Amino acid sequence: MCRLLVVDCVPLPTLSICLEAWKSTTCCSSITGEIYVKNGSNVTMNNNDIGTTCLAVTGQSVGFTSMMGIFFDSPGTNVTITNNRIAIVAPVRDSYGITIGCSASTNIGFEIAHNTVSSGRGIFVEGWNSSSSPGCGLGTVHDNIVTANEALTVDGPSGGYTSGDPIGIQVRFGSHDIQVYNNNITVHSGPGVCPVHFFTDVNSDCVSQGAIKLMGGPAAANITASNNTITATTTSASFPVSAIYGDLTPPDPGVSGFFNNNITSNGTIVDVTQPDGCGNYWTFKENTFIEAANPMNFVTFHTSWYCNPGQDTTHNVFIDNTYVGPDINQDDINGPPTGAGDSYSYFIKWSHQLKFSNEGELYASFDLLQRTWL
C-alpha cells in the first residue's frame, strides 16, 4: 500500500503532504511509502514536502508516516530525487526518508541530491537479495542534509533490539558504482536521545551503527563516501555511536572506501566490526578525524577488534589521514577474541613527496612510513 502509487511514470507534480492520520491503534506498517514508484524510468521527484508542513496543521514538527517517505521499488533507468524536504516518523524499524531498492542488478543512473531529511533513518540504496547478489548500480547521493533519530519501535523487542538504530546513509546488498559525497549527516546515541513520536514507539533510546554505512560483497564494486561532513555523538558510554562503518569485503581494495571526509565523534570514528558484518580491505584515505568533547569510551582513529565469532577483520588501510584531539596517538584494539579463528590486521600509511633536480625535476610519491598490525 501507499498514499501515492506511480507505476512506469513520467515526471511528477510537486506535492505537499501532511501525514497525521496514523494516531489510532491501527498501525500502518503495511504501507510501504508515502510516494511509491514501481518500475519507473525517466522519473523526476523534485521539490516535495513530506511531513514538513504538519507543524502548522497539527502542531507536530513531523509527519506520522508509513515505512518510507519516497520509495523507488526496482526502478528502470534515469531516476532523479532532488530538493525534497522530508520530516517523518514511522511505526517500524528500518524506515528511511528516501529508499531505492532493486531486485536484480540494475544500472539505473540515479541521483539523490539536495534533499533535507529528518527521519528514523535517512537515505538507503540496496539490493533486495543478499550481499553476494548484485543490486542497484550507477548513482550518486550528494549534497543532502540528513538527521537520523530512530527510536525503539514496536517491532524492535521481538527482533531482540532494546534501542533504535539511527543510520544516516546506507549502501548495501550488492549495490555498486555508487558515490556518496558532499552530504552533511548527524546521528546521535544515548538514553532518551531519539524522541518518541509514534504511538507504537517503545522508548527513546538509540544506538547508531553509522552516519554512513557501506557494505562490501562480491558485486559491491566502486562504492565510495567522500567529502562528507559527519557528526556522531553519544551521551552515554553504555550507548555507543559509530561515525563510519565499512562492512564485509569490497571486491576492489583501494577503490571502495572513505575519502576526504570531515568526521567528528566522541565515540567510534571508524568501525569495521558490528553484528551486521566484519570489514576487510577497506581504504580510509585523507580524512580528518576529530575527537569531540566529552568522549564516551572513545575509540579513536584506527578501530580494529575481534569481530563476530570465527570472523576476521583484516587488511584495512589508513592513508594520509589527519587526526585532531588529545588521543591522536591511540590505536584501539578492543576486547578479547570472540571465537576460534578470529584475527585482525590493519595498516597505517603516510605518503610524502620528494623533489629531485637532475636534468629537470622529477617528483616521486611513496609511502614514507607504514605501521602494520597483524
Beta-carbon contacts of 207 under 8 Å, excluding residues fewer than 6 positions away, are 163, 164, 165, 189, 239, 240, 241
pLDDT in tens, 343-367: 777 777 787 666 555 555 554 544 4
CA angle 228, 233, 239 (to 5 degrees): 130
Residue 40: per-residue pLDDT: 86
Banded pLDDT at 124 (limits 50, 70, 90)? very high
pLDDT score at 284: 93
What pLDDT score does 54 carry?
59
Q: Which residue has the higher pLDDT, 67 or 339?
A: 67
φ, ψ for residue 56, nearest 5 deg = -70, -25
Per-residue confidence (pLDDT) for residue 25, from 0 to 100: 30
* pLDDT over 90 (residue 226): yes
Mean pLDDT of 4-8: 41
Residue for grid cell 523487542: 157
Total residues belonging to the chain = 374
Look up the pTM and report it: 0.87
The architecture of the domain spanning 2-373 is 3 Solenoid (2.160)
Rounded distance, CA 173 to CA 314, Å?
A: 21
CB under 8 Å to 345, separation ≥6 — which residues?
A: 304, 313, 314, 315, 316, 372, 373, 374
pLDDT in tens, 293-342: 998 877 765 455 557 777 778 888 989 998 888 876 555 554 444 554 56
Say if residues 112 and 81 touch (Cβ distance below 8 Å). yes
Per the CB < 8 A criterion, the answer to whether 97 and 118 are in contact is yes
Task: Report the range of poorest mean pLDDT among 12-16, 120-124, 242-246.
Answer: 12-16
Are the C-beta atoms of residues 346 and 373 closer than 8 Å to each other? yes
Distance of alpha carbon 234 from alpha carbon 213, whole angstroms? 18
Q: What pLDDT does 352 receive?
A: 67
Residue recorded with cell 555523538: 233
Domain spans of the chain, in order of start: 2-373
- The pLDDT score that the predictor gives to residue 67 is 75
Least confident of 148-152, 172-176, 198-202: 198-202
CB 180 within 8 A of CB 222: no
